[in-house]
């Protein structure tokens, strides 16, 4: 059995850890509220834009829409993996890494795959592999996006992804991220950013649209902006999921620390009781020896 001092030190150590996890839980809860409001507000807008984008793409010839360009055989794929800059968020980052590796070895096993990491945790894993972006025009470190997550800061990165696609550097661009459901549930998804997949209506012919002010304006202005919105929405989803996952992880860690501290106090009391009993027995034995 450990000594009283060792158990007492463990109780103090667990108490300090519990204070840290409890504080991190409250911080993530406060940040989650803002992040959840942001993703809740943009989802209907982004969803309607994506629906409109797919419908318009079905009405525009593939030769006119550079963002709908497809190749007979997929050769070069860019996977944009969205993680966080910090850990202590349960399986949040490992799920993205696992999903990315699954795509590399599964769906895109015969392709030349490149990984763009948004978030320090994914970057730490893939920078040591052949899949990390090194020597490319695309940004390798995009961790600063989370410092101030606004559309104006995200748009340049999305534009670079679009430029890389239209120039033929990549045949396909997909985003892997955690989609926010609620504070306790996040789903790791793969979302195709480029090329745009035209909407296919079952049992009906393609709808003809009248473009105003013109088809060129729609292709040059509306479609790129919609793609940027989709990328921004994915980042907001990931950001909200991160704080939800961290809040849940820290809540569980705090509960575990409380349970551990309770068990240690029981162990301490038992050890203390045993020590007192031993001292009493020694005193009684000594008194009997003197009387004898």
- Region 179-208: mean pLDDT is 75
- Region 50-54: mean pLDDT is 76
| pLDDT tens profile 140-149 | 456 778 888 8
Domains of the chain in start order, with CATH, are 22-249 (3.40.1380.10)
Give residue 199's pLDDT.
63
- Region 216-243: mean pLDDT is 86
Give residue 96's pLDDT.
92
Give residue 175's pLDDT.
93
CB under 8 Å to 89, separation ≥6 — which residues? 242, 245, 246, 249
Give residue 136's pLDDT.
45
Q: How confident is the model at residue 177 (pLDDT cuts 50, 70, 90)?
A: very high
pLDDT at 156 over 80: yes
Chain mean position to CA 83: 4
Q: How confident is the model at residue 63 (pLDDT cuts 50, 70, 90)?
A: low
DSSP state of 214: -
**Could you tell me if 38 and 232 are in contact, meaning their C-beta atoms sit under 8 angstroms apart?**
no
pTM for the structure as a whole: 0.81
CA distances 30 to 24, 96, 250, 262, Å, are: 10, 24, 13, 29
Give residue 201's pLDDT.
54
Percent of the chain with pLDDT over 90: 14
- Region 236-245: mean pLDDT is 91
pLDDT at 98 over 60: yes
Provide the token pair at 17. 């850890």
Give residue 190's pLDDT.
92
Give residue 207's pLDDT.
55
Q: How confident is the model at residue 203 (pLDDT cuts 50, 70, 90)?
A: very low
Q: What distance in Å separates the CA atoms of residue 80 and residue 102, rounded to the nearest whole number?
A: 14
pLDDT at 280 over 80: yes
**Could you tell me if 124 and 88 are in contact, meaning their C-beta atoms sit under 8 angstroms apart?**
no
Give residue 233's pLDDT.
92
Give residue 204's pLDDT.
44
């Amino acid at each position: 059995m450990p000594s009283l001092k060792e158990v007492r030190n463990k109780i103090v150590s667990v108490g300090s850890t519990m204070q840290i996890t409890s504080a991190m839980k409250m911080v993530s809860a406060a940040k989650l509220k803002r992040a959840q409001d942001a993703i809740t507000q943009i989802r209907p807008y982004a969803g309607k834009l994506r629906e409109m984008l797919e419908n318009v793409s079905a009405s525009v010839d593939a030769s006119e829409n550079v963002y709908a360009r497809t190749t007979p055989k997929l050769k070069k794929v860019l996977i944009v993996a969205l993680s966080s800059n910090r850990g202590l968020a349960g399986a949040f980052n490992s799920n993205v890494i696992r999903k990315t590796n699954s795509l590399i070895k599964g769906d895109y096993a015969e392709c030349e795959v490149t990984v763009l990491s948004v978030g320090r945790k994914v970057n730490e894993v893939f920078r040591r592999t052949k899949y990390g972006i090194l020597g490319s025009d695309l940004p390798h470190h995009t961790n600063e996006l989370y410092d101030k997550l606004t559309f104006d800061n995200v748009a340049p990165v999305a534009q670079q992804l679009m430029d890389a696609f239209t120039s033929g550097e990549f045949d396909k661009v997909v985003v892997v991220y955690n989609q926010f459901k609620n504070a306790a549930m996040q789903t790791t998804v793969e979302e195709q950013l480029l090329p745009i997949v035209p909407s296919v209506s079952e049992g009906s012919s393609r709808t003809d649209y009248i473009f105003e002010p013109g088809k060129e304006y729609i292709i040059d202005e509306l479609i790129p902006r919609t793609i940027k919105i989709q990328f921004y929405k994915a980042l907001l989803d990931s950001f909200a999921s991160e704080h939800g996952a961290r809040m849940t992880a820290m809540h569980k860690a705090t509960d575990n620390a409380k349970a551990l501290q309770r068990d240690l106090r029981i162990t301490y009391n038992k050890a203390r009781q045993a020590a007192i009993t031993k001292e009493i027995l020694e005193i009684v034995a000594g008194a009997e020896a003197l009387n004898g």
